[in-house]
Chain A
Amino acid sequence: MLRTALRPRWLGLLALVVVVMVTFTMLGLWQLNVARDKGRAEAVRAAPQRPVAALTTVVQPQAQFPADGSGRRVTATGRYDAAGQVLVTPRLLDGRRGYWVVTPLVVEGTGARLAVVRGFVTDPAAATRPPATGPVMVTGSLAPAESPTEGAALPAGQLGSVDLADLVNRWGGQIYNAFVFATAERPDVTTGTTASAGIVRVPPPPPVGGGLALRNAGYAVQWWVFALFALYMWWRMVRDEHEREQSPARPAPAPQKVRKEVTDV
């Protein structure tokens, strides 16, 4: 069987089959990407339409970030721990280089801290701390923790990313494995007072992830099935010729005819 397969005409046809398989595999990958893009676009489109949920029903302290949590709109009530405020830099907003103002919110009920991006400043001095008033209800968009960054040492109270492992060390206690881009606060302690007029809200980024568009995912699978089928066709033709040679009782088509057909393809 192997000796049949290694004949030049079958090897030549195999080369053709490989080209077809590579092409089909790439077409499948292309459709998979289309499926991902459409899924992401769908997630972006659907995110603002999903109902606002209480943070405590979406994610628990110290627990894993939920798979569909990115971009989820949540509300959390608690008290800001102003002493724990940090600045994350460098960050850009509308082309300006600056800092995210990240303040821990001690969430009512669980007592765990939630990192809240209250806003953006271009000057660290403008990042005033929230006043120690009563409870605040924060509405915002949920995001998973950022990766730690390496680089030049930053001044005290500044971080290179929203690195929750670093923040839990600074803040102590329990922490949520998530942070929130605040879009509103009640009462508004960030943009509502003249004392903190320098802080502007950071628009939540579009959610990452999202599902697959089923139709295009189906096309991707179909391309791969056809790629495998091309290989099967080749194997089957080799096997048939091999079997014809093994049993001379069965009439074999003239070999030169097969060669002609192969070059026809």
Chain B
Amino acid sequence: MSEQAIDSARAESIRKALGYYKVMSIVAGVALFILCVVVFIHYVLHNPKPSETWSPIHGILYFVYVLSTANLGFKVGWSLPRMIRIMLVGFVPVLPFIVEPKVAREVEGQLAAGSLSA
């Protein structure tokens, strides 16, 4: 297998990981938004039922988001603090929607410049 083939395979796997991360970032952002709504319903409107249903689902979706972040981070070569920071973004309302395009643009730029697959 030539160097070129390895590099294009790596770029392909990074592209896949990025797609996975982008989807999970949006899913986690939406799940967090719904969580805020059900927490409001729980503590302000005193109805714990929606939060009982949604909280565990949010937990699972957040974990999948963390997996997708690690998957991308390891392939791109992010530092551990950066990976942890991006994982924690999933805990801050609205932030996933801001960070996701930035990360996507950065990784796509690196792919285009060949600085990852060189």
| Segment 65-92 of B: residues with Cβ below 8 Å from A | 66-67, 70, 74, 77, 79-81, 83-84
A222-B60, A236-B74, A249-B3 in contact; A215/B81 too (CB < 8 A)?
Answer: no
Residue A265, interface by CB 8 Å = yes
**How far, in whole Å, are A262 and B83 apart by their CA atoms in the complex?**
12
| A216-232 Cβ-contact flags toward B at 8 Å (1 or 0) | 00110010011001000
B56 touches A219 (CB 8 A): yes
Is B63 close to A, CB under 8 A? Answer: yes
Interface residues on A, range: 20 to 34
* Smallest CB gap from A223: residue in B: B59
| Cβ of A264 under 8 Å from chain B | yes
Q: Are A215 and B55 in contact (CB under 8 A)?
A: yes
Cα(A30)–Cα(B53), bound, Å: 20
Cα–Cα distance between A229 and B65 once the two chains are bound (Å): 13
CA gap between A226 and B67 in the complex, in Å: 10
Which of B56, B66, B70, B84 is packed against the most chain A CB atoms within 10 Å? B56
Task: Tell me the minimal C-beta distance from B52 to chain A in angstroms.
Answer: 5
- Whole-angstrom CA separation of A245 from B66 in the bound complex: 27
* Partner of B63 from A13, A215, A222 at Cβ < 8 Å: A222
B33 to chain A, nearest CB (A): 20
A262-B74 contact, Cβ under 8 Å, with A218-B56, A249-B3: no
Interface residue ranges of A97-153 to B (CB < 8 Å): none
Would you call A253 and B80 a contact (CB within 8 A)?
no
Residues of chain B with a CB closer than 8 A to A6's CB:
none
The answer to whether A215 and B70 touch across the interface, beta carbons within 8 angstroms, is no
Note all chain A residues with C-beta closer than 8 A to B83.
233
- Asked if A265 and B70 sit within 8 Å, CB to CB, the answer is no
A172, B56: Cα distance in complex, Å: 53
Q: Which of B56, B67, B74, B79 contacts A261 (CB 8 A)?
A: B79
Which residue from chain B places its CB closest to the CB of A226 in the assembled complex?
B63
Interface string of B12-38 (1 = CB under 8 A from A): 000000000000000000000000000
**Selected A-B contacts with CB under 8 Å, 16 pairs:** A214-B56, A215-B56, A219-B56, A222-B56, A225-B63, A226-B66, A236-B70, A237-B74, A240-B74, A253-B77, A258-B79, A261-B80, A262-B80, A264-B79, A264-B81, A265-B81
